[in-house]
């Protein structure tokens, strides 16, 4: 399946991202920094040059949280920039540090 770069359509009052995003699939493993070690399984939704978006069911992924992550396109440390609930699932935007 060929994937192309595109800007996703969201209401402009909500979406302030300016980078092109590439639709993505696959698993993301997230490990929030903190005193309680935990691995969170998430689903990769899209990627950009500086971050990614993932869907998950964890309430430990709060805005500002630093996580160690690994997905098919990258691995490293990221910060949660935003969260929202869409169709009953949590989505988070991550900035790669």
CA-CA distance, 17 to 9, in Å (whole number)? 11
Query: Residue 89 domain-assigned?
Result: yes
Q: Quickly state the pLDDT bin for 87 (edges 50, 70, 90).
A: confident
Query: Residue 16 domain-assigned?
Result: no
For the cut 80, the answer to whether the pLDDT of residue 29 exceeds it is: yes
Range of the domain at 77: 22-96
51: domain CATH number is 2.40.10.220
Query: Residue 54 domain-assigned?
Result: yes
Query: Residue 40 domain-assigned?
Result: yes
pLDDT tens per residue across span 55-78: 999 988 999 999 999 999 899 999
For β-strands 74-86 and 66-71, DSSP reports them as antiparallel
Q: How many domains does the chain have?
A: 1
At which residue do the structure tokens 């969201």 appear? 10
For the cut 70, the answer to whether the pLDDT of residue 8 exceeds it is: no
Percentage of residues in the chain having pLDDT higher than 70: 81
Q: What is the pTM of this model?
A: 0.80
Query: Residue 77 domain-assigned?
Result: yes
């Amino acid at each position: 399946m060929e994937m192309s770069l595109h800007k996703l359509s969201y209401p402009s009052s909500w979406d302030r991202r300016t980078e092109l995003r590439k639709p993505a699939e696959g698993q993301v493993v997230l490990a929030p920094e903190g005193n309680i070690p935990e691995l969170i399984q998430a689903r990769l939704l899209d990627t950009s040059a500086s971050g990614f978006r993932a869907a998950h069911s964890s309430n430990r992924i709060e805005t500002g949280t630093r996580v160690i992550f690994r997905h098919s396109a990258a691995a490293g440390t990221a910060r949660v920039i935003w969260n929202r609930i869409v169709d009953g699932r949590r989505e988070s935007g991550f900035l790669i540090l």
